[in-house]
Structure 1
């Protein structure tokens, strides 16, 4: 069995309202909408049993337009609920919560969890390219979201960065994992796991570069809001393997945090196609080459997801 926890879906109406998402730009990646049948065909083609839909597009909050952000989030969440009602055994979904106005964020969170049956929450690693998820204004959201005991998935989003990042597609290649590193580090150092010890947090793409620098994070002073060492908290985070990946990188994460904290992800639709350098074949090849016992590979492929999502 394989559960893909990093599987993107972009409703056509969403792309109409956020044209920069479908066209792409020097700092981002273009997205396209697909039919229900194409989603299921993709899962079948790669032997995936369940795909967990998410919309990571940070365009929801860009400009901090309250009405637009809420409209986009509602549109996405309604579409996901419909997708999953058609294929309940194959598709699950993360709710996209708009973090422009807290009243709207909490209302949409409760609607998705109580009325629509969402299985988790997806957020961009920064809000509107300007704000950080550890900012005090978002604390009511974290308090309410953790009460539902569902995974909260952080996906990298374009940050407002220096134009030097734009050349050679370095925005996607390096700034995205850098923004994941920054977002996860700020949340950990803000003491979020002390306030919400039950938090189920997922870091995309192996969590950026955080795990490579645990010793540096532990050593450096300036963590007054954490009761423990940063390493203690990073070992509570879940990490997916989505994106261009090799077996050695997955093994490093497994050795650092344990196989109980690692999830399979393919980054659809970026993994479409049959080329060996596409994301899905790379992830499956890396898993095949991974020098781990069969039982540990089962955890990564599906058992960890079943445990934290409670499908």
Structure 2
């Protein structure tokens, strides 16, 4: 198929992972009706039907840390070795962003080294918050230092905020809360200075950047008018404009034009969100991506991820 896509936002699940998550209370993940089914064969079939050349696999929300550091380290190692084995067997079709067991920083550093140095991962995957601790948390600084040193790709997937029962109004959190949690964690990275201290990290955020195209100017107002930030320092728009964004979800006709107007198109990537997005919805989303955006997102992905 002409204009084949590179998918940076693709998920997998294993039986062991679902069992561990279910045992920890995630029976209906993030308020969705059920866990999705997934096999490598089904994923390859979906890719072939929709013109997806390669998919970079990651574990979605709720991640791999369910409250116990030891269990989280073990589960992260299991899913990372599974995905790495698949990527080794089919390097033409699959890559892998390795799960790290935050908020366990020591465990995350150990798994980072194993995943990138031993398993050959293409980057790492984090949740937008870890039990309510967002990515600007000072405890994470050793991890950012190491990721910056490596110039690593960091794929950040949204997850439910704490106390979601009070804000989600009984609806699945991916509908609204994921979008706002992406915005919330990026704002934390901006206002704690992580983005400017660690410019070597190559961050990918999902779903067109959530509400960042709409709220970055408002964040800049607060940075300068209320928090004492200098207008001569990098603005919020400049900092956010150096991030990468996938277009999983409903990119057209409104979301991607807003993203492009706010931050340009040089760091926009394709994402399907399969297997949590069902095949008919993936097909509809792919159909909305015209030849120009296919070519642009694929060129951007190769610039970011080709080794």
Give the TM-score taking structure 1 as reference length. Answer: 0.89
SS in 2 for 1:173: coil
* 2:69 matches 1:51: no
Q: Residues 208 and 246 of structure 2 are in contact (CA less than 8 Å); yes or no, is this contact kept in structure 1?
A: yes
Q: Which residue of 2 aligns with 1:202?
A: 204
* 2:17 matches 1:11: no
Q: Which residue of 2 aligns with 1:132?
A: 134
Larger relative contact order (Cα-Cα within 8 Å, sequence gap ≥ 6): 2
Q: Which residue of 2 aligns with 1:81?
A: 84
Q: Which residue of 1 aligns with 2:296?
A: 299
Q: Residues 209 and 246 of structure 2 are in contact (CA less than 8 Å); yes or no, is this contact kept in structure 1?
A: yes
Q: Which residue of 2 aligns with 1:187?
A: 189
Quick one: which of 240, 245, 250 aligns to 1:239?
245
* 2:218 matches 1:222: no
- Residue 168 (structure 1) shift: 4.9
How far, CA to CA, are the matches of 1:284 and 1:207 in structure 2? Answer: 18
Alignment RMSD: 2.1
Q: Give the length in aligned residue pairs.
A: 299
- Residue 272 (structure 1) shift: 2.8
1:140-289 aligned within 5 A:
140-169=142-171, 171-220=173-222, 221-222=226-227, 224=229, 227-274=233-280, 278=281, 280-288=282-290
How far, CA to CA, are the matches of 1:134 and 1:189 in structure 2? Answer: 8
**1:18 and 1:270, CA in 2 relative to 1: closer, same or farther beyond 3 A?**
closer
1:58-137 aligned within 5 A:
58-63=62-67, 65-128=68-131, 130-137=132-139
**1:281 and 1:37, CA in 2 relative to 1: closer, same or farther beyond 3 A?**
closer
SS in 2 for 1:30: coil
SS in 2 for 1:142: helix
Which deviates more from structure 2 when the two are superposed, residues 264-273 or residues 136-145?
A: 264-273
**What do the CA deviations read for 1:34-93 (whole angstroms, capped 9, x no partner)?**
222112111112110000001023352232x11011011001101101111121100001
Unaligned segments of structure 2, at least 5 residues? none
Q: Residues 157 and 179 of structure 1 are in contact (CA less than 8 Å); yes or no, is this contact kept in structure 2?
A: yes
- Residue 191 (structure 1) shift: 1.1
How far, CA to CA, are the matches of 2:33 and 2:144 in structure 1? Answer: 28
Unaligned segments of structure 1, at least 5 residues? none
How far, CA to CA, are the matches of 1:28 and 1:37 in structure 2? Answer: 24
